[in-house]
Amino acid sequence: MSTGTVSKRLQKLKAKIEQNPKHVRFEDLDKLLRGYGFAVRQPRRGSSHYVYKRGQWLLTVPYRRPHIREHYVKEALAYIEEIETLENKGPVLSSS
């Protein structure tokens, strides 16, 4: 999904998470990452870690209540910023 098609609801959720990364519910981060095109692999027997992948970006997030640790939230936001930057640049044309 390109950032040009990111819904207003997703933009609001991202802004809310950026304002307070210490108090983010797992469900909110999951919704944000899926909205930005990350595929999720749910944990198998005995694990609580969810794996999100999109292209070169790989993020492992442990399911934790009531809030996810700030480190994981900031890492997810950094990946989203990278994706937005790359998508807004467009293809690089060589001058040969």
Mean pLDDT of the chain: 84
Which of 39-48, 50-59, 84-93 is predicted with the least confidence, judged by mean pLDDT? 84-93
Domain boundaries, the chain: 24-88
- Asked if the bond preceding 43 is cis, omega within 30° of 0, the reply is no
3-48 pLDDT, tens per residue?
456 688 888 999 999 999 999 999 999 999 999 999 999 877 778 8
User: Which band of pLDDT confidence, cut at 50, 70 and 90, is reported for residue 90?
Assistant: low
- Residue 56, classed as helix, strand or coil, is coil
- CATH code: domain 24-88 is 3.30.160
Can you give the pLDDT at residue 27? 92
Nearest to 71 by CA among 60, 80, 81, 82: 60
Look up residue 12 and give its amino acid: K
End-to-end CA distance of the chain: 31
Nearest to 40 by CA among 63, 24, 64, 15: 63
State the Cα–Cα distance between residues 55 and 57, nearest whole angstrom: 6
Share of the chain above pLDDT 90, in %: 51
